[in-house]
Structure 1
Amino acid sequence: MRPPGRVVFVVWTLCSAAAATAIEPISTSIAVGMAAALTGFLATYQNVLYYFHECCREEWISLNGSGLEADLEKKLFGQHVASKVILKAVTGFMENKNPKKPLVLSLHGWTGTGKNFISHLIAKNIYRNGMKSSFVHQFVATNHFPHPGEVQTYKAQLQQWIRGNVTSCPRSMFIFDEMDKMHPGLIDSIKPFLDYYEHLDGVSYHQAIFIFLSNAGGGKINEVALRFWDEGKERTDIQLKDLEISLSLDVFNNKNSGFWHTSLIDKNLVDFFIPLLPLEHKHVRMCVLAEMKERDLKPDETIANEIANEINYFPKEKEIFSVKGCKTIGGKLSYYT
């Protein structure tokens, strides 16, 4: 199996350090002058290269905290729990000069609730090139690990890919999508990289970010959201503490979660289990209006309401939450416009 196209192991030499150049000693004065001139040229050339070619440097990788906060507030709808946790977790980690371990986030919820969108917002506000950055690596279980009989091969390749990329850039990000379709035991192969080890074979992983995306646990999250609704409580009353423990236990004991009996949970290496709540009619309408803005279309409340009304909702007798979140609104908007 070939590694994902986004994974890179080699960074241009001039992006890390100027190559040593041997100069024949014609005379001491000439040699010193040539060395000084060469050093100045290389320094200038590298600075120009840093500007045009992505490098593992602060010019290309640094947190835009205000940008992340604004994006979570204005573009992510109905997810007050996730927004709060993501902002604090990412900001705290990026501002920590000496983290003791990588940041590990696990996002859970039904399809269309914003898991992938959140990972894109994080990448956008850390890497200048966002998801297109050479230092952001996305693995999709059904694409990169499709065959159950090759799990041992996948384990070795996964370790190699992560080790190679973190060696090239310590501030790498790894996104694992469709964790609920990951073969049991596969994710345990990267457990050493997520632990508190100072170095593993000379490589430190403490500046890396790992994000897991999964539909597993969505049923448990929906139960809590529905209970709050039935009890007449506000959606915003739901807090992380109402879900995190039960969510981690649910995915740990679910053989189809990708985290089944994994040491990542057993050893408390996942920093946050983040629930994505099911979306209501008003949130779907907000998604439609946001998509219109993204396409430079004039906001149309009538169309937004019509599209939101077409979405299927559950439970059937109450029709409170969108079955597919905001996942299908792009196609429906194209039909209406």
Structure 2
Amino acid sequence: MSDQESSTSTSQTEGELDEEVEGEVDTEVEGEGENDSKHRDSPPLQISSFSSTLRAVIRIKQKYHALKKRRQEVEGALTGATGRTSPKIFTFDGTTPTALSVPQKKKRKRRRRVMYPNRGKRRAPPKPARSRAKYCLYLLFAIVFVQVYNAIENLDDHLLRYDLEGLDKTLRREVFGQQGSVEGLLSHLKEYLSTYVHNKPLVVSLHGPSGVGKSHLGRLLAGHFRSVVGETLVLQYYVLHHCPQEADALQCARDLSAMISEIVERAEEEEKIPLFIFDEAEHMHGEILDALLQLVSSKQSNEYLNAIYLFLSNLGHSHVTKHMLHNSSSTSMAKSGHYSHFVKELTPILRNTLEKLHVLWTEADILLLGLLEKGQVMECFLDEMTREGFYPDHTNIERLAGEIEYYPEVGGHEYSQTGCKQVVAKVNLL
């Protein structure tokens, strides 16, 4: 069937339905009209006549909806056959034809296209935000630099106060054959005197045979420190002179403790470091060693921590002599540079021996002075003769040096048994 024929049939059907509806409505209206005419002719209306009229109106409405629904079904069937869609009819019933509705496809959401900037146009880089904390950091660096610089300057000031360079020159010129020991002692002094704050006092113990220059070294140190820190801050303690009797050892220990306490308190007021030299320490009594141990221990107050204790003794001299005679080929110490090797081998042995004597030696740094050769003894004679005003005749010096006793020659070295101890006495006999 063509579209034209379907449209004609549809219009005919609609017309027939309209005629039927109109006919029925006219019939009902005529009936109602007759009833009305009868009622007009009749006496006034009653409640029963009003209810019959209402029922007639309801029946007409129901018939109208039934015809209308049948008309919509016919139209839907016709449009389904021809493939056409009829316009939607708006009603208050809320009833819509769902059986013949066509499902619609869901539209896919299109992704938004990412827009990139043109390559030709260059964007300016963001400017970094300036932080005020950076300037505080620069200020902190400057403060730290100034503090470190001042600390270095203070170290130099301390060293300049004690004139360690002058002391170095004096010891190298006056002490013969002990360059290794002198360098070790100066290293300890430089490290300790570079600052005024310490956690323990400096305790150094020099050991060696008789006549190698221990007492002479102590006198040079005492004279130098008297010139830089004052006479009252230097103490030279000779045990055989200050406490010759063992019975007085306890009283000597008390007097020594009181003397040291007075000196360290005065040094604390002047902000200086005192020097205490104990010569002939091998003759010190046990009570004196106990008193000194209490003074050098780190449990004391601050003023006792800023002090230098120097012990001079010939304890362990037999170990030094035996080691040098048996290893003479490698113990030309200062000249051949084997002093560090000599100390490394002999220090543990000597420390073990000293610790058995008293606990005080555990707190000390040990330095060793070796035997003097014949050439070094001749240097002692030359220096002493120059001091006394004698003409330094080499033949005379060699003759005097030959009068001193020596150990048997070993490995081309001839070591003196008494060192330079007899030099002063022989020069005085000239």
- TM-score scaled by structure 2? 0.56
Map 1:280-319 onto structure 2 (within 5 A). 280-315=373-408
1:296 deviation in Å?
A: 4.2
Contact 2:253 2:287 in 1 (8 A): no
The Cα offsets for residues 102-128 of structure 1, whole Å up to 9 and x where unpaired, read as 211111112211111112222233331
- Structure 2: gaps (5+ residues): 1-156
Map 1:229-244 onto structure 2 (within 5 A). 229=328, 231=329, 234-236=332-334, 237-239=338-340, 240-244=343-347
| Counterpart amino acid of residue 419 in structure 2 | G
Is residue 338 of structure 2 the alignment partner of residue 226 of structure 1? no
Distance 2:324 2:287 in 1: 31
1:317 deviation in Å?
A: 8.8
Distance 2:408 2:275 in 1: 37
| Counterpart amino acid of residue 238 in structure 1 | Y
The Cα offsets for residues 42-64 of structure 1, whole Å up to 9 and x where unpaired, read as xxxxxxxxxxxxxxxx99x9311
- Secondary structure (helix, strand or coil) at the match of 2:200 reads coil
| Counterpart amino acid of residue 231 in structure 2 | S
1:205 deviation in Å?
A: 1.5
Match of 2:217 in 1: 118
**Percentage of matched positions with identical amino acids:** 26
Contact 2:225 2:234 in 1 (8 A): no
- Secondary structure (helix, strand or coil) at the match of 2:315 reads coil
Name the stretch that deviates more: 61-70 or 216-225.
61-70
RMSD across aligned positions (CA):
2.6
Distance 2:209 2:396 in 1: 25
Distance 1:177 1:196 in 2: 23
Match of 2:58 in 1: none
Match of 2:348 in 1: 245
Match of 1:193 in 2: 295
The Cα offsets for residues 8-64 of structure 1, whole Å up to 9 and x where unpaired, read as xxxxxxxxxxxxxxxxxxxxxxxxxxxxxxxxxxxxxxxxxxxxxxxxxx99x9311
Choose between structure 1 and 2 for higher RCO, CA contacts under 8 A separated by at least 6 residues. Answer: 1
Structure 1 residues 95 and 86: CA distance shift in structure 2, 3 A:
same
Structure 1 residues 184 and 113: CA distance shift in structure 2, 3 A:
same
| Counterpart amino acid of residue 90 in structure 1 | L
Match of 2:182 in 1: 83
Distance 1:294 1:99 in 2: 40
- TM-score scaled by structure 1? 0.71
Match of 1:68 in 2: 167
Match of 2:247 in 1: 149
| Counterpart amino acid of residue 344 in structure 2 | K
1:275 deviation in Å?
A: 0.9
1:294 deviation in Å?
A: 2.6
Contact 1:76 1:114 in 2 (8 A): yes
Which among 349, 372, 384 is matched to residue 279 of structure 1?
Answer: 372
Q: Which has the larger radius of gyration?
A: 2
| Counterpart amino acid of residue 426 in structure 2 | K
Greater share of helix: 2
- Secondary structure (helix, strand or coil) at the match of 2:227 reads coil
| Counterpart amino acid of residue 279 in structure 2 | D
Q: How many residues in Structure 1 have an aligned counterpart in Structure 2?
A: 263
| Counterpart amino acid of residue 334 in structure 1 | N
